[in-house]
Homo-oligomer: A and B are copies of this chain.
Amino acid sequence: MPQIQNVNELLERTQFLIGDALSAVEATYATELASKNPFVRDIYQHTSRFRGKRLRPILCLMTAKACGEIKREHEILAAVVEMIHTATLVHDDVLDDANVRRHVATVNVRWNNQTSVLYGDFLFTHAYHLASQTESAEACRIIGHATNLVCEGELTQIRNRGNLNLTEAEYFSIIDGKTAELCAVSCLLGAKFSGACEETIKRLENFGRLLGKAFQIADDVLDLIGLESNVGKTLGTDLFQQKMTLPVIRLLEETSGNERQQLLELLEAGTEEAGREIIRRAREANVINAAIEYAHQLAIEAQHELQVLPDSPAKDVLLKLPVLSIDRAC
């Protein structure tokens, strides 16, 4: 087949592998959030336009397929991780004071911050309620534990806004919680509920974690260098909010003396002009390419984890996912 350019294309071409499972996930998602309340229905309709490539449900279903058969539990749990992901997006848009997501006004802009806070809560509670439909307290525990770590990662991130001395280790600990954990648990659940052995479950969990880290690094690079009109969400927010990301951390590491002092002043300025100058210096120091390269390295490591799986079409899809999910940023 010709070269696949992005996750959506990969999915279109390989959807036959997971049959109606993705439609079942969508139906499960919609049924769980169905409400008699017209206001809740309005927000649901609005936020359904935020949803993108369904990366986490696909991770869950494809790992399930690569390890055995897709069961009803997988469909439920894939909907759960997607719902938790959407909840974090809705709350993130409040934290970031963002205006646009996927070319659509955020909930905080369309309604207000209060509605965003409560609708995020609504999505969280429905996610846990849905998880309990699997009749497995273990699934609830695994998901609860993962979301605990997601929240802790987000709290650490908010605490470190404005901390220009954030280290690489601290940055990785933040993205491990806020992004990689949910990708990891999607794969873990896929493998576990297909009856995979402990070793396979562990490796697939790590596959998801590496993929998630690679994706977040690429997403952070995109925020730094991208243009609002192309990506459909508010960009440059990391810089303006003094949220340190990999290229900027490395740029600071590699800069000293007067130049470093200038850079710190540019970071503190928080203007568009300062932002452009930071990007110029980052390009000059090659830290943007280096960050993308590091994301690719993690993607390759992720692929290696899949050696534990027998060859199959689903495995082939999984092999392509890490690189595809970061490539949109390059």
Residues of A participating in the B interface, judged by any CB pair closer than 8 Å = 35, 37, 39-40, 43, 87, 91, 94-95, 113-115, 117-122, 124-126, 128-141, 143-145, 147-148, 150-152, 154-156, 158-159
Contact = CB atoms under 8 A, between A and B. Distances in A.
Contact of A151 (B121, B141, B154, B156): B121
Contact of A117 (B94, B132, B133, B143): B94
Chain A contact residues: helix, strand, loop or mixed:
helix
B145 A129 contact: yes
B154 A125 contact: no
7 contacts: A37-B152, A40-B155, A118-B151, A125-B144, A128-B140, A129-B140, A129-B144
A113 B116 CA distance: 13
A141 to B, nearest CB: 4
Nearest to A147: B125
Contacts of A147: 125, 128-129
A6 B137 CA distance: 38
Copies in the complex: 2
A43 B139 CA distance: 29
Contacts of A156: 37, 39
Nearest to A173: B37
A240 to B, nearest CB: 14
Contact of A148 (B43, B122, B134): B122
A120 B120 CA distance: 11
A35 B151 contact: no
B121 A152 contact: no
Closest 8 CB pairs of A and B: A129-B144, A132-B140, A132-B141, A125-B147, A122-B151, A128-B128, A39-B159, A95-B114
B125 A155 contact: no
Given A117-B117, A137-B140, A141-B132, A35 B152 contact: yes
B121 A154 contact: yes
Contacts of A113: 94, 113
A182 to B, nearest CB: 12
A179 to B, nearest CB: 15
Nearest to A154: B118
A148 B128 CA distance: 10
A133 B141 contact: yes
B124 A155 contact: no
B158 A114 contact: yes
Contacts of A134: 137
Contacts of A130: 144
Nearest to A39: B159
Nearest to A149: B125
Contacts of A158: 114-115, 118
A132 B137 contact: yes
A129 B148 contact: yes
A154 B121 CA distance: 10
B155 A129 contact: no
